[in-house]
Amino acid sequence: MFENLEQALQFIADNGVSMLDFKMVDLEGRWRHVTLPASRLNEDLMHYGIGFDGSNYGYAPVENSDMVFIPDLSTAALDPFTDTSVLSMTGDVMIIATPNNRPFDQYPRNVLKRATDYMKQIGVADTMIAGPEFEFHIFDSIRFKNDPHYSMLDIGCDEGYWSTEEVGDGDQIPKKRGYHADIPQDRHFDLRNEMCELLENWGVKVKYHHHEVGSPAQEEIETEMGEVNSMADATMVVKYIVKNTARKWDKCATFMPKPVYGEAGNGMHVHIILKKDGKPVFYSDNGYGNLSKTALYFIGGLLKHAPSLCAITNPSTNSFKRLVAGYEAPVTIGYAMANRSAVVRIPAYAKSPDSKRFELRNPDATCNPYYAYAAILMAGLDGIVNQIDPAYHNWGPFDCNLFELPDVQKAKIDALPTNLEDALKALQNDCDYLKAGGVFPERLLKTWINFKQKELSSLSGIPTPAEFEHYFAL
């Protein structure tokens, strides 16, 4: 929003801003914040930052847990959800050191910056353009309980197909029939409009929004593509605005990959473009889908490392309840033109050199977006450096519905992991590409794997009502 401190101070004075809110990112990708009077913004704060204890953010222990947050004025925006006038911004985290503070190497924004620096260093491109698609659900209420003696889940959703008797207005959407549903069935049209207006006001450009496939209020907002570091910040903004706008309307929003059994899940498909000196790297007149060799090698890297990528782009046990056949979510490792059953899809409508791209369809929004975008870039760069040809490895192109192939043919195609445990094992065995150029520190990867293994162990030990249904009478 601001190019310099003078602009920020003038805006604060002109708009009666009383507080500054600094947003920091923890290991899992949640925003945390610390707030101070707007009068504190000065040259010293911009240079020395504000100190905080980073030991509770989930990162690997460092020799000194005292950290410094340096605000990034370009990310500033007025928070629309506060009673007082609050200027919100994210920024960078440094380790306090002598003689000079240094960037905290595990901090998500710093990892993504190193990934884009590495891209420039090897000369492949100087800009990665990313375009995430955000799918989510809006529920009227959510109740859950997990006591040793009592488990329950109750999703309240007037739009859901199961609510015809309770609501009694006849406008519920049939199961898996919600794609582009119109009002009155689309009950949250005005709510999504407000979300999009707030995103635009924050500086996040919206491409469009609509109702998604899922009957119980599954929604999608797609933003315009942008430089990947900015889009990681924008991803955090989208989640913040979606959740808080829903709360303002007495609703609750979730980006959980699979909140409703038997319905479509929520992905975060990522469209990818590389440019060098302002020119597209991925276009060719005579390549498959008008993709260049460089683009195909990038795809080859994504597909080679897809199992280990899933540990970062799909880092929840719930993620793999979405990655099942029959719901337009990928389960096999392959690429194709205009084929939503492939993990890498080349949109047929993107024909011009500047728009030529592909999308990675497995990620979901339980990821830390900075780590996820950095890992996606590093996998693709590894494919370019090592000239990994996806066709040579039998990863496509698959110009057919992969879900409908005979079992004999399916068995010949590599598959994505079916659970978080297998994804974490893949990451343990395949992480060198992430460490290239010092992008992902080894202790960050170890911390991530250990953290997720503990989470997996905890969740896998909890009996579920479905298990009682299947096994109680045996």
Kindly give the confidence (pLDDT) of every residue in the chain, 474 residues in length, as a single tens digit, with 9 standing for 90 and above.
Answer: 899 999 999 999 999 999 999 999 999 999 999 999 999 999 999 999 998 887 788 888 776 667 899 999 999 999 999 999 999 999 999 988 767 788 999 999 999 999 999 999 999 999 999 999 999 999 999 999 999 999 999 999 999 999 988 888 889 999 999 999 999 999 999 999 999 999 999 999 999 999 999 999 999 999 999 999 999 999 999 999 999 999 999 999 999 999 999 999 999 999 999 999 999 999 998 888 899 999 999 999 999 999 999 999 999 999 999 999 888 889 889 998 866 678 999 988 888 989 999 999 999 999 999 999 999 999 999 999 999 999 999 898 887 666 666 676 666 788 899 999 999 999 999 999 999 999 999 999 999 999 999 999 999 999 999 999 999 999
- Whether the full predicted model's pTM is greater than 0.75, yes or no, is yes
Residue 192 and residue 269 in one domain: yes
Residue 127 and residue 99 in one domain: no
Q: Token pair for residue 474? A: 């045996």
Q: What is the pLDDT of residue 380?
A: 98
Q: What is the pLDDT of residue 98?
A: 66
Of 78, 104, 130, which marks where a domain is finished?
A: 104
Active site residue 442: no
Residues 6+ apart with CB under 8 A from 389: 296, 297, 300
Residue 11 and residue 76 in one domain: yes
The single residue of 6, 43, 53, 277 carrying the catalytic annotation is 53
Active site residue 158: no
Quick check: is 30 in a domain? Answer: yes
Neighbours of 325 (CB within 10 A): 14
Quick check: is 416 in a domain? Answer: yes
Quick check: is 111 in a domain? Answer: no
Residue 261 and residue 324 in one domain: yes
Of 104, 138, 172, which marks where a domain is finished?
A: 104
Residue 210 and residue 77 in one domain: no
Quick check: is 110 in a domain? Answer: no
Active site residue 212: yes
Q: What is the CATH number of the domain that holds 304?
A: 3.30.590.10
Neighbours of 209 (CB within 10 A): 19
Q: What is the CATH number of the domain that holds 44?
A: 3.10.20.70
The single residue of 135, 140, 159, 219 carrying the catalytic annotation is 135
Residue 357 and residue 276 in one domain: yes
Active site residue 135: yes
Residue 94 and residue 126 in one domain: no
Active site residue 269: yes
Active site residue 194: no
Residue 40 and residue 165 in one domain: no
Quick check: is 112 in a domain? Answer: no
On the question of a cis peptide bond just before residue 184, with omega within 30 degrees of 0, the verdict is: yes
The single residue of 114, 271, 345, 361 carrying the catalytic annotation is 361
Quick check: is 301 in a domain? Answer: yes
The single residue of 28, 72, 79, 212 carrying the catalytic annotation is 212
Quick check: is 115 in a domain? Answer: no
Active site residue 53: yes
Residue 62 and residue 146 in one domain: no
The single residue of 21, 133, 159, 219 carrying the catalytic annotation is 133
Under 8 Å between Cβ of 107 and 23? no
Residue 87 and residue 203 in one domain: no
Quick check: is 116 in a domain? Answer: no
| Domain count for the chain | 2
Active site residue 263: no
Give the structural domain span for 82. 5-104
User: Which of 267, 457, 279 is CA-nearest to residue 356?
Assistant: 279
Q: What is the pLDDT of residue 410?
A: 67
Residue 72 and residue 139 in one domain: no
The single residue of 114, 187, 209, 269 carrying the catalytic annotation is 269
Q: What is the pLDDT of residue 401?
A: 67
Residue 41 and residue 145 in one domain: no
Active site residue 149: no
